[in-house]
A and B are shown apart, each in its own frame.
Chain A
């Protein structure tokens, strides 16, 4: 039995595997299959200040080894999360990462402040949702704005702060450095890559939103590359995600520089994916003489 525990931005996780925001709800749908206590943590569905109805359907399009989504941050709002979802989640013996998104800097800070004094273990500030018109990726694609929103949330929050970066930028390392300098305790990356599919019969985009975020194994090499680049540019720890579907993928992502990993679209294909990855990580460590999984973080040997 390898030691899978990781310390990440001052928070102890029993293992580094976390279902990604927007792919796992608040865990309720998967409890029928396995106890949520198996998971390192859960990054819950992106929460906004007020309820959001989301985008018009269709919101899903399949792609070669991946998918596009344009859900548009449909959620019940912060108050519902705190009153209805959080009391259930705290009983599950797993780390709770509140993923928050606002349409203004002030809204992001207000959301973060609402979570002070709650059982949330960590905040993941989403400055990278490609599917909303205000806030979202508009925050995450400009160094100054990304820094300003990070600073506002850092000042408003007592929780460890992780900022989720967009890959839809010219230089992700510049954004990462700006966010780090503005007080982020950790970074998570990558959010989805902006994509599009067209139904050639109707000549309509498959998604009603026309464009959406690409995820799944198709984006994995892009994610590994970005995690590696960011790991070389900042000192704060990283949570790597983007197309991870096996334990070997998780090992690769950790070698690139991620201390923890999130698993997203893979869950749609196999709802057991997070627990299979946890079990697989343990086996991999045992087979490779790795006593503690943290030992492999950032150990890639570049040519």
Chain B
């Protein structure tokens, strides 16, 4: 179940260089949304919509918050929209994260961090959120994660903020020292592959959020294929409908 319509942007901030934070008032979509789902946004002047993960859902206020990076001309066009402008949005789409009882670790790399806020908030102090960025200037959402009561572990590639190193090192230390019932991850494919390997090694359930070039966003066109395995057989599933969240064990990360 999803909605399509023109909805007003009620808040916009620049979170970091090239990263924008939009809150859209769309009560009927917010009512249906779950952590880990995404929206398809129409960038003025472009033919296909841009799939953007939902960062935060406020059902009481009827809002959906999305944090996205300018990657090309379409997302650049989206970044020019301002408070008061309407945005053409289809949401919520896809299959979100599975909430379990117990302790969670959320691992986000770069622009893979925004979808972590929603699920981490559901766990509050039962979630540790390990985030990785290129450098201090690229860091986003740390205050939001702390405000949600989560433990935060910040890593940067160059050591200019937090721990100097990769999220996977921090994840392994966490898994060695603390009981973990589920891992959620979103970020670059090499990171997801490494997180999935650690999850398997430590016997912890793991869900990853994937992205792929997309057209319809609803499961009709079969464009956003991703390689998965089921009972030893390779199957192309679709990021928009079967995902974007998948059980890490079924995803084939190579290729």
Contacts and interface: CB of A to CB of B under 8 A. Distances in A.
A103 interface: no
Interface of A: 22-25, 28-30, 32-33, 45, 53-67, 69, 71, 74, 206, 216-217, 265, 267-272
Contacts of A267: 216, 220
A25 B223 contact: no
Contact of A67 (B48, B218, B220, B225): B48
Interface residues of B, number: 31
Interface of B: 1-2, 4, 42, 46-49, 74, 90, 212-227, 234-236, 241, 255
A22 B4 CA distance: 21
A271 B212 contact: no
Given A269-B47, A269-B48, A29 B225 contact: no
Contact of B215 (A33, A60, A64): A60
B255 A56 contact: yes
B218 A62 contact: no
B236 A33 contact: no
B3 to A, nearest CB: 8
A89 to B, nearest CB: 14
A29 to B, nearest CB: 4
14 contacts: A29-B241, A30-B218, A32-B1, A53-B235, A54-B225, A60-B215, A62-B46, A62-B48, A62-B213, A69-B223, A206-B213, A217-B47, A267-B216, A271-B218
Contacts of B235: 53
Given A57-B236, A60-B215, 15 more contacts: A22-B222, A54-B236, A58-B213, A59-B222, A59-B223, A60-B48, A60-B221, A60-B224, A62-B47, A67-B215, A74-B225, A206-B213, A268-B49, A268-B221, A271-B218
A157 to B, nearest CB: 26
B221 to A, nearest CB: 6
A23 B47 contact: no
B212 to A, nearest CB: 6
A67 B47 contact: yes
